[in-house]
Structure 1
């Protein structure tokens, strides 16, 4: 899931300086789960903007905001409002915000900061789990990602700086390679650590990237 958090409201107001009529868009998936882009948050933002003298012409929770064709269809319900609006405020992740921006000629501003791809540990608590590196290593590493969980992204063992099982870069984090070792040991798969891994090929994660499933047929 893409994890996002709210920008400070004062920052949002700075974006909207000079914009009097605003449309708010949210997202039904990741942003709603993170409590930054669902209907409750859209209504809260509407109230706060109106208290600052803005006119909110309407809001729409896109399903989801990052689906280009679906969002294009959903925005048709705001055909008249879009003619009048000065700006759109997006309560989605960076991807969803860019999708909306592609579909309109008026400025689209982000209300959230996109943090990482991660997992929901419990309501309101999220942990980074994937860097979308383009070459998944989880098959041999016991399901623990060395690219994401190791602060140095090492593929061929630990750096040697861990103390008491904690990472030398951030002592709040467990050493990924100790976790990998223990997991593989429990699975009787320690032989996986004897294979030398090729250096990471950063060309495969050069940005921006695209995937077209039609090319795979």
Structure 2
């Protein structure tokens, strides 16, 4: 899941300083789960903007905001409002915001900061889990990502700086390599640690990336 957090409202107002008539878009998936772009949050934003002198012409919870073709179709429901609007405020992640911006000829501003790809531990609590490195290492590491969970992204064992099982970079975090060792021991797969891993190939992570499944047929 893409984890996002709300921007400070004053920053949002700064983006909209030259915009009187605004349309709001949310997202039915990640942003809704993170409580930053579902219908409840969109309606809350609508109220706050109107209290600050903005005219909210309408809103749409896109399903999801990052689906280009679906978003193009969903925005047709706001066709007349978009003709009149000065700007759109997107309450999705950065990906969803860019998708909306690609389809419109008026400014599209972000209401959220995109933090990371992570897991939902429980409602309102999220933890980073994946850096989308393009070459997944989970097959040999016991399902614990050394690139994400290790602050230094090490692939061939710990740095030696851990203290009491905690990372030297951020003592609030467990040392990823102690977690990996313990998990592999539990799985009877400690031999996985004997293989020397090649340095990361950053070419597979060059941005922006694109995947076209038709090229793989």
Say whether 1:32 aligns with 2:37: no
2:148 and 2:79 map into 1 onto residues whose CA distance is 43
Q: What is residue 76 of structure 2 aligned with on the other side?
A: 76
SS for the counterpart of 2:58 is strand
* Aligned counterparts of 2:49 and 2:186: Cα–Cα separation in 1: 54
Corresponding residue for residue 49 of structure 1: 49
Correspondence 1:1-217 to 2 at 5 A? 1-217=1-217
Deviation at 1:29, TM superposition (A): 0.1
- What CA distance in whole angstroms lies between the structure 2 residues aligned with 1:129 and 1:119? 6
Query: TM (normalized to structure 1)?
Result: 1.00
Unaligned runs of 5+ residues in structure 1 are none
Q: Cα RMSD (Å) of the superposition?
A: 0.3
Distance 1:188 1:34 in 2: 37
- Deviation of 1:173 after TM superposition, in Å, equals 0.2
How far apart, in 1, do the equivalents of 2:155 and 2:15 lie?
42
The separation in 1 between residues aligned to 2:62 and 2:15, in whole angstroms, is 21
Structure 1 residue 87, shift from structure 2 partner: 0.2
Aligned counterparts of 2:53 and 2:178: Cα–Cα separation in 1: 55
Q: Which runs of 5+ in 2 are unaligned?
A: none
CA distance in 2 between partners of 1:103 and 1:188 (Å): 52
Following superposition, the deviation at residue 18 of structure 1 comes to 1.0
Tell me the TM-score normalised to structure 2 length.
Answer: 1.00
Give the superposition deviation at 1:101: 0.1
| Runs of 4+ more than 2 Å apart | none
